[in-house]
Amino acid sequence: MAAPDHTVSNCPVHIAVIMDGNGRWARQRALPRHAGHRAGVKAVRRTIEHAVRRGVPYLTLFAFSSENFRRPPDEVGRLMTLFVEAMQREIDELHQNKVCLRFIGRRDQLADTLVQRIEAAESMTAANEGLRLTVAMAYGGRWDVAEAARKLCERAAVGDLDPADVDESLLGSSLCLAGVPDPDLLVRTGGEQRISNFLLWNLAYSELWFSDVLWPDFAESDLDAAIAYFGRRERRYGHTSEQLEASKC
Ligand code: IPE
Ligand code: IPE
Ligand code: MG
């Protein structure tokens, strides 16, 4: 991986990606769906390398949703095997490149071998200060919010928390991405324009960039196009353009 070049101005601090379109990529080639998922892993590698090159501090990738367990068992099983293999193959290089890798989602729904790899990868890379890479696996945005609420209720039940103190900041800091800035930019490939239960809370003010490109075809130039789109947005957070102009003076 090359060093960051920082040539793109107004680069998003946190990019979140819904990597969609593997199945259609395979179908277009008369291949089985798992061939699309395999090709998708190569696109993940390219995207991580390019995010490092562009100096993006945080990258969050949606690899498998809680709803994806509804897929045929054979597809789910092959995907899980692919995740284990990819982790085994890539972890040393990610570590050498100072990537700090974390996983969010329901570990109780993942196979023991995968959870072991996840935990080993997290502890191996925990002190790294390069790209903060988060992989959402068996993740659902509603589950994340419900879990946060449950944890706060447990604290209130034992007298450790006054319910009157529950506010946006406290709930936000109880979510999986506590401590990580909200995504500035959400990228979704594969042509659909929906959130599919990704980071429901954290995406409140993200800029949205949808592409018809199928995930296995996602190239460095596509990430650059998304970053360039982000650079053209005016983020108002409820203010007026005039207020923002005045604050620049
Ligand atoms: C995304 O590609 C990968 C996962 C959801 C695991 P899909 O498998 O959803 O691809 P399409 O949408 O069927 O083309
Ligand atoms: C979203 O893609 C989940 C991931 C990319 C991991 P899906 O393909 O599962 O989304 P839907 O079902 O079309 O909304
Ligand atoms: Mg899909």
Q: From the alpha carbon of 27, which atom of ligand 1 is closest?
A: 14
- Flag whether 61 is in a domain: yes
- Concerning whether 92 is annotated as a catalytic residue, the answer is no
- Flag whether 169 is in a domain: no
Give me the amino acid identity at 243: Q
List the structure tokens of 101: 């890798």
d(CA 117, CA 134): 15
* Side-chain-side CA neighbours of residue 232 (13 Å): 7
- Flag whether 6 is in a domain: no
Whole-model pTM: value is 0.95
Instruction: List Cβ neighbours of 242 (8 Å cut-off, separation of 6 or more).
Output: none
Count of C-beta atoms within a 10 Å radius of residue 2: 9
Q: What is the chain's mean pLDDT, rounded?
A: 95
CATH for 123: 3.40.1180.10
Determine if ligand 2 sits within 6 Å of the CB of residue 20: yes
- Flag whether 163 is in a domain: no
What residue's CA is closest to ligand 1, atom 12? Answer: 21
- Flag whether 149 is in a domain: no
Using DSSP bridges, classify how beta strands 207-210 and 185-188 pair: parallel, antiparallel or unpaired: parallel
φ and ψ at residue 205, rounded to 5 degrees: -125, 20
Query: For 86-97, how does the pLDDT look when each residue is reduced to its tens digit (9 = 90+)?
Result: 999 999 999 999
d(CA 10, CA 231): 5
Please tell me which residue in 10, 20, 160, 222 is annotated as part of the active site: 20
- Flag whether 1 is in a domain: no
Please report, in tens digits, the pLDDT of each residue of the chain (249 residues total): 544 444 445 899 999 999 999 999 999 999 999 999 999 999 999 999 999 999 999 999 999 999 999 999 999 999 999 999 999 999 999 999 999 999 999 999 999 999 999 999 999 999 999 999 999 999 999 999 999 999 999 999 999 999 999 999 999 999 999 999 999 999 999 999 999 999 999 999 999 999 999 999 999 999 999 999 999 999 999 999 999 999 988
Q: What is the tally of structural domains in the chain?
A: 1
Domain range for 67 is 14-140+181-236
- Flag whether 37 is in a domain: yes
- Flag whether 7 is in a domain: no
Determine if ligand 2 sits within 6 Å of the CB of residue 198: no
Determine if ligand 1 sits within 6 Å of the CB of residue 71: no
